[in-house]
Structure 1
Amino acid sequence: MKTPAILMLALALSGCATGQRPSVEWIAVRDTDQFTDKSTCGVTVGSFYTGGSVFTASNHYYPYIESVNGELRVGIRSGGRFKIPVGDVQLRIDQNPA
């Protein structure tokens, strides 16, 4: 009697073992500073992708890349509707130092 239950449980959990991760799509983000009226454009990722819209989750951090005056900036931004400070962040890309 336990064998069918174990078999059903194994089949139900086998979908978790596929190892496939959802594809990450980089999106363009345009922003205008409310004090200086300076516009920036960069790219970032999100957590949820639905038919042309991308959403981020509160209390999660996302990579962000932008070009300002010919200088490439790489960093982290918080997600969600209300942004929270990220503090000091160290990034390590490939074998380069942090």
Structure 2
Amino acid sequence: MSVEIWFDERDDAEAFLEELQHEADVRRVGFAGEEDDEDHAWVVLLPAADEAVLDLADGHGGWAPETVSPPAVPVPVDLPRAPRRLKRAPGQAESR
């Protein structure tokens, strides 16, 4: 599984790759809703990344988006089998 590391500036992405001593493609990708090409981020695609690589990217202003896991299956709620009685039955004393 490949890892995307995002940078705001191309210079930061290239400095990261130079320090990492790794060949990778640096491409520009826009976020959803961005219309200005100058605001698009730079993405470095690596085959894998460990904690040291992510720390190095952080030092150069980069970040790796967290993977989103599917939501857990909800636990069924134990609901009452009959409706609650809000009014007292005739002749029933009030309890406090």
- TM-score normalized by the length of structure 1: 0.26
Q: Whose relative contact order is higher, 1 or 2, with alpha carbons under 8 Å and at least 6 apart?
A: 2
- TM-score normalized by the length of structure 2: 0.27
More strand by share: 1
Q: Higher Cα Rg: structure 1 or 2?
A: 2
